[in-house]
Structure 1
Amino acid sequence: MKVKPLAVLKMSCIFVILKPLLLLVALQILFDDTTQAAPTTNADTKPLSNWLNRSGTETTTTTATDEHSSSKAKSNLKWTSRSAWQAAPAIHIPTRITGAVGGVSHVIIHHTATPAAACRQSTNACAATIRAVQHNHQQQRGWDDIGYNFLIGGSEERAEIYEGRGFGVVGAHAVGYNARSVGIAVIGDWTADLPPGPVLEKMQDLIAYGVQKGHIQRNYVLLGHRQVKATDCPGSRLYNELKEWPHYEQHAV
């Protein structure tokens, strides 16, 4: 019988010792590969920017939608809808404005001559004031609905636009001009005081929106209510402010 060289014997011994260890390592690797969870993906997951608006707050408010535009375009301008301020239904079907190519020709500014404190307090209190104005117009004056197309109220910190009859609907705010104008009422009595800055800014935004969407002509005429009727409306302080605005006309046309 031949005797194996010493080196061969040493290698055989090392293999016998290491074989169980190598087998355990191989089994452990195989076990890890078969039990490790695959990375999960969710096809419905959307980037955070899709759920947040530009100011970084959750988008829960709806933007004002141009219901009368064929493109259904949306604007960043927001307003409180009739349903949100709990308007009563119109007594009769609203009369649509017809024949106003490119939009109505006039914007007429009013004030409600009611206390402005409610709108400085909260949107809920302001909505209650608007409901009272609507009740007066419908029940006391016998009109189909609140007379204005839009109302605006607020404080030095914020302001809100409230939908009255809306764009494209004949109002009841200026005899002889209802079918060719948008009537905007600033909530409060602005005889001695000027409305807060945010309220004036919202008024300008609303007019610009109307022009952009084709509800108001680009060369519209801006008037105070007193220019088309013997009244103090929209209050001397507010009326003097309007004189400095673009499109104001001293003589009503």
Structure 2
Amino acid sequence: MWSRRLALGAMALPLALLVLRDAPVRPDPPEPVAIGPAPQHGAPQPAIVSRAAWRADEGMVRQRATYTGPVSAVFIHHTGHPNGYACADVPEMLRALQADHVRVQGWDDIGYNFVVDRCGTIYEGRAGGVGRAVHGAHTKGFNDDSVGIAALGTFGSGVKVPRALIEGIAKVAAWKLRYGADPRGMVRLVSTNDESKYDKGETAHFHVISGHRDSHQTSCPGDALYQRLPAVREGADRLRDR
């Protein structure tokens, strides 16, 4: 999740945006751009808005991307943004998120591999190529052989999770998972550090599609979205031919 400092800043959004919270609209998002080679993963690549399209600051990136093995697990997050945003404003929000992750969190780049907004639009997150297994900074101890997908917003108890958001997350998960992975199954991962619920070297068992809270003491991705993870798993499974 993003820092408290940035979250407070975001609360100053114009009133015209905040009133959309209870009556969301679907403005035209930026034109999706699919980049990278077609993966051999068992599901088609969805349309993805590239970093170039949302104008990521490549000069801010501290180190070149590194890569991990085929994706065996998906970790779902939420970003902590207020939910009343207009989808047309997402590129600007992502630029602020990138700045927070680099300048405040001290990471090399935005931590998530992908971000999905409430309109279901999928954005490329961390640099390195959407068609490759980019090593993210989304789930400490379990960034190896995994992908991090963040839902743009805050999805605590009682919040209605947009259907388009669930469908967008499912599309990314279905595509990024290695061929043969079962989106409804379980996976065994080994922790790479002591900054999670599991000590370094300890084996952990997760759902193939898990929430951030499954590995850490956190409320992320929020109670409402966490309760919808079965729908994400089912949606991803329907899209795959294995």
User: TM-score per shorter chain, which class?
Assistant: 0.5 to 0.7
Q: Residues 139 and 160 (structure 1 numbering): CA distance in 2 closer, same or farther, change over 3 Å?
A: same
Determine which of 73, 93, 111 is the counterpart of 1:129: 93
Deviations 1:67-115 (A, max 9, x none): 3749xxx956211100111111221111111xx2xx2111000000111
2:218 corresponds to 1:231: yes
Which letter maps to 2:76?
A: I
2-structure distance, mates of 1:146, 1:232:
20
Amino acid at match of 1:242: L
CA contact (8 A) 2:102 2:109 kept: yes
Say whether the 8 Å CA contact 1:63–1:77 is kept in structure 2: no
Pair 1:218-2:181 in alignment: yes
Query: Helix, strand or coil for the counterpart of 1:108?
Result: strand
Would you say the 8 A contact 1:190–1:234 is kept in 2?
Answer: yes
1:203 is aligned to 169
Q: Give the letter for the 2:36 counterpart.
A: D
Structure 1: distance between partners of 2:152 and 2:32: 23
Change (3 A) 1:198 1:69: closer
1:76–1:241 distance in 2 versus 1, CA, 3 Å: closer
Q: Which residue of 2 aligns with 1:142?
A: 106
Structure 1: stretches of 5+ with no match in the other structure: 1-60, 248-253
Structure 1 residue ranges (4+ consecutive) displaced by more than 6 angstroms after TM superposition: none
AA at the equivalent of 1:190: F
Q: Which residue of 2 aligns with 1:177?
A: 142
Deviation at 1:229, TM superposition (A): 0.6
State the match for 1:33 in structure 2. Answer: none
Q: What is aligned with 1:187?
A: 152
Distance 1:69 1:76, change over 3 A: closer
What aligned pairs does 1:12-51 form with structure 2 within 5 A after superposition? none
Structure 2: which 5+ residue stretches go unaligned? 1-30, 184-207, 235-242
**Superposition deviation, residue 246 in structure 1:** 3.4
Using a 3 Å threshold, how does the CA distance of structure 1 residues 132 and 68 change in structure 2: closer, same or farther? same
Distance, in Å, in 2 between the alignment partners of 1:115 and 1:217 is: 37
Percent identity, please: 35
Deviations 1:4-46 (A, max 9, x none): xxxxxxxxxxxxxxxxxxxxxxxxxxxxxxxxxxxxxxxxxxx
Correspondence for 2:82 = 115
Structure 2 residue identity aligned to 1:169: V
TM-score (normalizing by structure 1): 0.62
Deviations 1:113-166 (A, max 9, x none): 111222xx232x111111111111000011000000000003xxx421000124
Specify whether residues 76 and 222 from structure 1 end up closer, same or farther in structure 2 by C-alpha distance, changes over 3 A only. closer
SS class of match (1:128) = helix
Identify which of 151, 159, 163 aligns with 2:115.
151
- What are the Cα deviations for residues 215-239 of structure 1, in whole angstroms up to 9, with x where unaligned? x652351110011011110001110
Q: 1:68 to 1:77 in 2, by over 3 A?
A: closer
Do 1:116 and 1:153's aligned partners in 2 also have CA atoms closer than 8 Å? no
Determine helix, strand or coil for the equivalent of 2:181. strand
1:245 CA displacement: 4.7
Hey, what's the Cα distance between the residues in 1 that align with 2:38 and 2:136? 16
SS at match of 1:104: coil
Contact 1:105/1:217 (CA < 8 Å) preserved in 2?
no
Does residue 65 of structure 1 match 2:65?
no
AA in 2 matched with 1:64:
A
Query: Which structure is richer in relative contact order (CA contacts within 8 A, separation 6 or more)?
Result: 2
TM-score w.r.t. structure 2 length? 0.64
The count of corresponding residues between Structure 1 and Structure 2 is 171
